[in-house]
């Protein structure tokens, strides 16, 4: 199963696994797929630590890193992270902070210990924080690809990544965004449909993938959004995708760092239980629907802020629900796609890769048999 992008990256299967867990990156790449570490939640120092660990454990296999440099965000242009943080913090209305406290209190989510600093919530999604991440990434030779979410990376970053011999790509949710990526000279595009987990647009995968493929051909397109089994993978390849880019699937694997309360939420959810909500990040992001997402939908509650202000405004919710998961599932941030309805047990990452491949081959065989003459 070798598509052009497999050849270029030297991998066996065109299965890309987006994850925030280094153990999953290693397990997927070692199983013949391609692990991609999500960098947005890490400081530059922590990202270096994660990549050093992966380098040590991944053997000769390659892996990728995903950054989040949005085309539009509050405070764009300020490249000093400390100044940006101060400016943005001053922009957060008290009303929002009060509302967050109120929702957490109503749900009995404990406060953090007095000596624990929750951090600002600025995270990696600004140029001020993402550009230094790229400099760190380029110090790690086993990283052979960088992907960007929420926009086309700036020309100097594209040049810097490509001239280091790595591929650079970006996610898109419309053919027009894909065309902008192609014009900017990216090496590949990831077409993410509505049903996918995390930030997602409003066109379903079945409609989006072929449109993006036609728009940017012959540029390789990876299909994302709603892939949970090998039949869906076969469909994506049949439409002309060069591989599949998956995210939700890896939240419930043995190597993932999801806590037991989160796992339970994923296992009990059906495909109807997700919603696209701006309540955590400020941009439409698919996650499990719960009291938190519902609270932000009410007419009498504050409007969500832009990125990254909303994430900074709700920092207490993020940190406290991570620290006290058993008490906070009703308000926790559980980004996941509609495939959550089929994620019902813990599996090893290598088994997920193998089952995707086997079921994909079975599906393609079944299709071929439709055309046999005997």
Ligand X SMILES: Cc1cc2nc3c(=O)[nH]c(=O)nc-3n(C[C@H](O)[C@H](O)[C@H](O)COP(=O)(O)O)c2cc1C
Edge-to-edge strand ranges of the sheet holding 285-288? 198-199, 285-288, 274-277
For position 40 contacting ligand X by CB under 6 A, the verdict is yes
User: Would you state the torsion angle of the CA atoms of residues 22, 25, 29, 30, taken in this order, to the nearest 10 degrees?
Assistant: 40
For position 68 contacting ligand X by CB under 6 A, the verdict is yes
For the CB of residue 356, give the shortest distance to ligand X in the complex, in Å. 11
d(CA 128, CA 86): 13
For the CB of residue 342, give the shortest distance to ligand X in the complex, in Å. 10
Residue 312 host element (H or E): helix 309-313
**Contact (Cβ atoms closer than 8 angstroms) between residue 282 and residue 262:** no
- Mind giving me the DSSP string for 134-164? HHHHTT-TTEEEEEEESSPPPHHHHHHHHHT
Which of 213, 224, 253, 357 touches ligand X by CB under 6 A?
Answer: 224
For position 230 contacting ligand X by CB under 6 A, the verdict is no
For the CB of residue 251, give the shortest distance to ligand X in the complex, in Å. 6
For position 196 contacting ligand X by CB under 6 A, the verdict is yes
Residue 149's beta-bridge partner residues? Answer: 68
What are the two backbone dihedrals, phi and then psi, of residue 188, each rounded to the nearest 5 degrees?
A: -160, 165
Q: Which segment (5-13, 70-78, 188-196, 252-260) binds ligand X by CB under 6 A?
A: 188-196
For position 248 contacting ligand X by CB under 6 A, the verdict is yes
For the CB of residue 242, give the shortest distance to ligand X in the complex, in Å. 15
d(CA 298, CA 289): 14
Q: Under DSSP, is residue 255 helix (H, G, I), strand (E, B) or coil?
A: coil
Which of 239, 335, 353, 357 touches ligand X by CB under 6 A?
Answer: 335
What are the two backbone dihedrals, phi and then psi, of residue 176, each rounded to the nearest 5 degrees?
A: -65, -40
For position 213 contacting ligand X by CB under 6 A, the verdict is no
For position 212 contacting ligand X by CB under 6 A, the verdict is no
Which of 6, 33, 34, 66 touches ligand X by CB under 6 A?
Answer: 66
- Mind giving me the DSSP string for 172-212? ESSHHHHHHHHHTT-SEEEEE-TTSSEE--SS-HHHHHHHH
Closer Cβ to ligand X, 66 or 74, answer by number: 66
For position 282 contacting ligand X by CB under 6 A, the verdict is no
Query: Please, which of residues 355-374 interact with ligand X by CB under 6 A?
Result: none
For position 316 contacting ligand X by CB under 6 A, the verdict is no
Which of 337, 353, 356, 360 touches ligand X by CB under 6 A?
Answer: 337
Instruction: Name the residue number minimizing CB distance to ligand X.
Output: 247
* Binding-residue total with ligand X (CB under 6 A): 26
Residue 286's beta-bridge partner residues? Answer: 198, 276
Residue ranges binding ligand X (CB under 6 A): 18, 38, 40, 66, 68, 149, 171, 192, 195-198, 224-227, 245-249, 251, 335-337, 339
């Amino acid at each position: 199963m070798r598509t052009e992008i497999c050849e270029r990256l030297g991998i066996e299967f065109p299965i890309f696994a987006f994850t925030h867990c280094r153990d999953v990156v290693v397990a997927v790449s070692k199983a013949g797929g391609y692990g991609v570490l999500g960098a947005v939640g890490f400081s530059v120092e922590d990202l270096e630590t994660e990549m050093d660990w992966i380098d040590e454990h991944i053997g000769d296999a390659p892996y990728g890193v995903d950054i989040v440099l949005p085309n539009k965000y509050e405070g764009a242009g300020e490249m000093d992270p400390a100044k940006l943080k101060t400016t943005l913090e001053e922009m957060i209305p008290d009303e929002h902070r009060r509302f967050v406290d109120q929702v957490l209190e109503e749900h009995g989510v404990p406060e953090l210990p007095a000596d624990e600093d929750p951090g600002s919530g600025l995270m990696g999604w600004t140029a001020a924080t993402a550009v230094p991440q790229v400099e760190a990434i380029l110090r790690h030779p086993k990283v052979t690809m960088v992907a960007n979410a929420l926009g086309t990376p700036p020309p100097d970053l594209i040049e810097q990544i490509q001239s280091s011999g790595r591929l650079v790509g970006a996610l898109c949710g419309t053919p027009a965004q894909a065309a902008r990526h192609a014009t900017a000279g990216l090496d590949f595009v990831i077409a993410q449909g509505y049903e996918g987990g995390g930030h997602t647009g409003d066109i379903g995968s079945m409609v989006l993938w072929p449109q993006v493929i036609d728009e940017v051909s012959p540029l390789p397109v990876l299909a994302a959004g709603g892939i949970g089994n090998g039949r869906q993978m076969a469909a994506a390849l049949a439409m002309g995708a060069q591989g599949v880019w998956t995210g939700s699937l890896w939240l419930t694997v043995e190597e993932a760092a999801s806590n037991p309360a989160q796992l339970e939420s994923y296992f009990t959810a059906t495909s109807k239980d997700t919603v696209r909500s701006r309540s955590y990040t400020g941009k439409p992001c698919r996650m499990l629907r719960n009291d938190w997402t519902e609270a932000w939908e009410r007419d009498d509650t504050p409007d969500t802020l832009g990125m990254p202000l909303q994430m900074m405004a709700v920092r207490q919710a993020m940190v406290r629900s991570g620290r006290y998961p058993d008490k906070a599932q009703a308000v926790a941030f559980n980004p996941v796609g509609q495939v959550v309805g089929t994620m019902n047990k813990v599996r090893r990452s290598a088994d997920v890769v193998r089952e995707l491949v086997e079921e994909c081959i079975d599906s393609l065989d079944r299709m071929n048999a439709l055309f046999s003459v005997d």
